[in-house]
Structure 1
Amino acid sequence: MLNAGSLSCWMKFRIWLGERLYGESSSRQVYYVVPRKVLKVRCHRTELEAMEYAGQHTTIPIPTVYKAYGKGDYRDLLLERAPGQDLEMSWRSLTAAQKADIVRELAGYVSQLRQLHPPREGVVGSVSLGSGYDHRLGSRRFGPFSIAEFHKYVRRDVDLESWKARDETVAQVHSRSDSYATKFTHADLSPSNIMIKNGKISAIIDWEFAGWFPEYWEYTKIYYGFRDWRKDFYSEIEHFFTVYSEELDAEQAIWAVTGPFDYEPVATVVTALQQRRDIDAKAKG
């Protein structure tokens, strides 16, 4: 059901007509309104800020924002419809050389993001250093944090000593929080968010998680929700990206005992304490 109260009756009619003429998109947030434009509803303002920032400071192909409807934290965005087909759908039809070329191109764009300078070093948050968001950490916004505070949040306040019984790597990575730089990060570079046309990247979409994160976050997030049939995609990532093997091991250890629901608000302090005890017990194995 459309949840876009800031839209005019005319735009709602265009959405209704677009669904009949062009079909429905695979996302409940996105609606086709004309052949080359889409409406993405309920976008936090930080997604728009991230798109504008990356568009101004890199050569990454990002869909043009034609108009933002609404005020406050959430907007409905009228966007250019990214040309081509997403990499998820086209990957199997590509040759080995084409796959390597595309991931090499992707790595070049990520390198541009990583060369940008944060407003304040060591702070994890949105592009403007406001609160951040990443579905890896549930549905609520978080921070801004120092990297040490972010790591504590990631492990749900469970003491590092509890992790040592299960996996030393978590303690090793999180205990050196001060050694990591913060880098501008898309944070959702799955093949479904990479559009391809004529063997080149035509757009990178879905910037809702983008912000300043520890330098390894872009790499480890690519592996979140691992898909076995993406193995050759991951193999190319290993060739062209900066690899953070230890940090990935630490993240995978945390993924094994937590899920997005563990980061949701809880009803009482007692419930929060019990949740922490449960994760602590899992961490100890």
Structure 2
Amino acid sequence: MSLQLSNHQSMPVAPPNPYGFRDPRSVPGKPRGVDILIAAQERQLKRSRYERWMQCAANRLQMTVLNSLRTIRNLMWRFTLGRWFWIKACHGTDTIEVETMRMISSRTRIPVPHVWTHFVWSGRRYIIMSRIRGVALSTVWYTAGPQFREVIVEQLASCFDELRTLRTPYGRRICSVLGGPVRDFRLRYQHVGPFEDEDDFNLRGARFYNDFESLPAECMPQLVAAAHSIKHGIVFTHGDLATRNVMVDGTKVTAILDWECAAWFPEHWEYCKSIFATPSWVREDWLPWLRRMLPVYDLEAEADKMLVQGLWEPFL
């Protein structure tokens, strides 16, 4: 290291740039950014052990104070306005989730939070909604007995049966409640679509523009072709059915949350997406009960599993 430092000191360097660090191209023959790293090492070596200890202690104190202030802020909110309101920060600025919850509230008996207002700030939409009594189903489901699960599953089955009775005004089109693009983290991180029909959805959405012939062998192209040749009805789909998105108070379902991915999708998509959205280490426990909540589409789910394993990348 001492040799590197002495060589570096003898080399001509560019003057500091406006941002306060040296030009990363200023060390001939070195990768970009090496001189910045060396300068940081130089500063660290010049500090005494006491100075380094003090810096570490100051950093720890800063983090402790910030965490304490956040805790105080959260408690103040929880025991004042937070007793009645919940604020959700959305991924984008669109109003799809707002309009979806309002549509579900007005056209069904499915329990959803009441939307009071919404606004855009710093590039994100914030929704102020009613706080739902109870706890997330995920906090009690995995330790609950079969009798509790029976009661909860019966209520969820009734909710999703009612959801699937809604009729789309857009024909065979696969789109949001507003008729435009959808947000679905199985397809893309950003909005995609709308899709003109199920074939278009399978090609541009589920298969990421891959024809059957171009699918890798691990995707089992014959299985995918068989599943994608089936024509399904278009139904309204929550798109993220998981225990974390269901609120319960005792044995009563008090709300279904997180309608960000809801849209008009082929009827098998709810079943496939719930399997996709459930962590693998609890999937075997959840799947038998999911099959009692929703119509079962085993062929389509297996094909989608192959596509996820072979093609899907997080935040694509």
Verify same fold: TM over 0.5: yes
- Which is higher, the Rg of structure 1 or of structure 2? 2
**Residue 246 of structure 2 corresponds to residue 191 of structure 1:** no
Change (3 A) 1:143 1:34: same
| Equivalences for residues 15-164 of structure 1 within 5 A | 18-22=73-77, 33-42=81-90, 44-70=94-120, 75-145=125-195, 146-153=197-204, 154-163=206-215
TM-score normalised to the size of structure 2?
0.70
Note the C-alpha offset of 1:203: 0.6
Moved more, 192-201 or 226-235: 226-235
**Partner amino acid, structure 2, of 1:181:** G
Query: Given the superposition, is the C-alpha separation of residues 245 and 19 from structure 1 closer, same or farther in structure 2, using an over 3 Å criterion?
Result: same
- Inter-partner Cα distance in structure 2 for 1:213 and 1:74: 26
Q: Work out whether residues 62 and 203 of structure 1, in 8 Å CA contact, stay in contact via their aligned partners in 2.
A: yes
- CA positional deviation for 1:22: 5.0
Q: Alignment identity in percent? A: 29
Secondary structure of the corresponding residue to residue 138 of structure 2: helix
Unaligned runs of 5+ in 2: 1-69
Residue 157 of structure 2 aligns to which amino acid in structure 1? A
Conserved? CA contact 2:164–2:236, under 8 Å: yes
Secondary structure of the 1:184 match is strand
Which residue identity does 2:276 align to in structure 1? Answer: Y
SS at match of 1:66: strand
1:254 partnered with 2:254: no
CA distance in 1, matches of 2:242, 2:215: 29
Distance verdict in 2 for CA 1:227–1:83, change over 3 Å: farther
Secondary structure of residue in 2 paired with 1:238: helix
Q: Who is 1:239 aligned against?
A: 292
Instruction: Kindly report structure 1 stretches of 4+ aligned residues shifted beyond 4 Å.
Output: 15-18
Tell me the secondary structure at the aligned position of residue 258 of structure 2. coil
Q: Does residue 216 of the first structure (1) align with residue 268 of the second (2)?
A: yes
**Pairwise CA distance, 1:58:** 1.0
- Tell me what 2:259 maps to: 207
User: Which of 1 and 2 has higher RCO (CA within 8 Å, sep 6+)?
Assistant: 1
Q: Deviations over 1:228-248 (max 9, x none)?
A: 334332111123320000000
User: What is the CA-CA distance between 1:70 and the residue it aligns to?
Assistant: 4.0
Cα distance between partner residues in 2 of 1:17 and 1:55? 34
User: The residue matched to 1:39 in structure 2 has which SS?
Assistant: strand
SS of equivalent residue, structure 2 residue 276: coil
2:282 corresponds in structure 1 to 229
Contact 1:63 / 1:80 at 8 angstroms: preserved in 2?
A: yes
CA spacing shift, 1:161–1:230, aligned 2, 3 Å: closer
Matched residue SS, 1:68: strand
Contact 1:45-1:74 within 8 A present in 2 as well: no
CA contact (8 A) 1:139 1:260 kept: no
SS in 2 for 1:40: strand
Provide the alpha-carbon RMSD of the alignment.
2.3
The 8 Å contact of residues 19 and 33 in structure 1, kept in 2 or not, is answered as no
Q: Which moved more, 1:38-47 or 1:214-223?
A: 38-47
Q: Does the CA-based 8 Å contact 1:33-1:39 persist in structure 2? A: no
* Pairwise CA distance, 1:140: 1.2
The Cα of 1:162 is off from its aligned counterpart by: 3.3
Give 3-state SS (helix, strand or coil) of 2:186's partner: helix
**2:141 corresponds to which letter in structure 1?**
W
Higher strand share: 1
Counterpart-to-counterpart distance in 1, 2:313 and 2:242: 18
